[in-house]
Amino acid sequence: MHLENVPRIRDVETLVDLIKSIGAEAEWTARNALTIHAKQLRATELDPALCRKIRASILLAGPLLARCGEIELPPPGGDVIGRRRVDTHFLALQQLGATFTLDDAFLLRAKRLRGADVFLDEPSVTATENALAAAVAADGTTVLRNAASEPHVQDLARFLVAMGASIDGIGTNTVTIHGGRPLRGCRYEIGPDHIEVGSFIGLAAVTRSEITIERAGVQHLRSTLMGFERLGVACRIEGDDLVVPGKQEMVIRSDLGGAVPKLEDQPWPAFPADTMSIALVTATQCEGVIVIHEKMFESRLFFVDKLIGMGAKIVLCDPHRAVVVGPTKLHSGRVESPDIRAGMAMLLAALCAKGESIIDNVGQIERGYERIDERLRALGAKLERVEDRRLK
């Protein structure tokens, strides 16, 4: 198996370490190319320390259950952005023939997986991906209803098709998998990350800079572009590239009748939850008032106290809603990165603030953004890594 355009981020490197720990051979053949041989896998407990580092460890449940017949999976880690239930994963696998128990870890067993008509109780991205991976190995046909359809879910489905699977309805909320076909190795190029694209749109907006994002996966950006247009940030598509013009007016667009607008996240294809932190920081630099409504995670907006400390005019109404009044001139501060997306949002705030800021715990940002310091310096940003430095 050869994968190209693999993001060289900390979460992916941890996942590679996990699959190597159970017998897979994995080698980085280039900066963003990975070759994997998984002929010999052990049905064993996954390393709890590695699982605690990333949410994605749970994505091994479906594939290892299908391959080995059992898996002992420690609770996954990842961002602390509120409760992140895993029930949907195991309920879906149970409908495909698995049994599971929970003690200190999840123990899943399945002598035989069989196709089923599965309704997911929420359109969870990772639960849909686990169900897809298990269903391609199950005997018979599986129909996944209320399935997530984010670009990375579509990418996984197309990857499985490249391996020999038969899947209908890719990109919709009802996916049909004709299971039991033999799978083979293949070469596959992973698509662009629409969340990273949204982050760079926010970067261009708050710094009033023009940025061209090459091979941006523009076919997946309609909701993202609509959300930023509500903030007064317009982009243009040039072939496969996205251009964010510099020095835009950035006036928040009121709803009809002059009502205060609201930007809210919802399951795909609506505005992505992982772009909300970026949009909130962008709103602090736009003229007008807007309600940011984060529906998906009850702790994601708590990072706004750090922005308020930098001078932002934000009222946190409750764990899910914040009112942002802009524009405000942010000043420097010492902050920390609480999770991947809030960390990137704080980095954007620091880049548009007056003075020198320090961001601690940047390892969180690097879990989701590859070589972010190098890439920002290439765009003209003034930033450096430091071990121990205090604001003067």
Catalytic residues: 79
Q: Is 247 exposed, middle or buried (0-12, 13-18, 19+ CB in 10 A)?
A: exposed
Q: Do the bridges between strand 321-326 and strand 313-318 make them parallel or antiparallel, or are there none, so unpaired? A: antiparallel
Q: What is the rounded CA–CA span in Å between residue 322 and residue 290?
A: 8
Q: Please give the DSSP secondary-structure letter assigned to residue 287.
A: B
Q: Please give the DSSP secondary-structure letter assigned to residue 122.
A: S
Phi, psi torsion values for 256, nearest 5 degrees: -55, 140
Q: Alpha-carbon dihedral of residues 378, 233, 370, 15, nearest 10 degrees?
A: 180
- In the chain the beta strands, taken as DSSP E runs, fall at 2-4, 25-30, 33-37, 70-73, 99-102, 106-109, 117-119, 140-145, 166-168, 174-179, 187-189, 211-213, 236-238, 241-244, 262-264, 288-293, 313-318, 321-326, 334-336, 358-360
Which CA distances in Å does 42 have to 15, 108, 375?
Answer: 16, 14, 39
Q: What is the rounded CA–CA span in Å between residue 19 and residue 50?
A: 10
Q: Give 239's contacts (C-beta < 8 A, 6+ positions apart).
A: none
Exposure class string for 69-92: b at 16+ Cβ within 10 A, else e: ebbbbbebbbbebeebebebbbbb
Cβ pair 365, 383 in contact under 8 A: no
Q: What is the CA radius of gyration of the chain?
A: 22
Q: What is the rounded CA–CA span in Å between residue 224 and residue 193?
A: 12
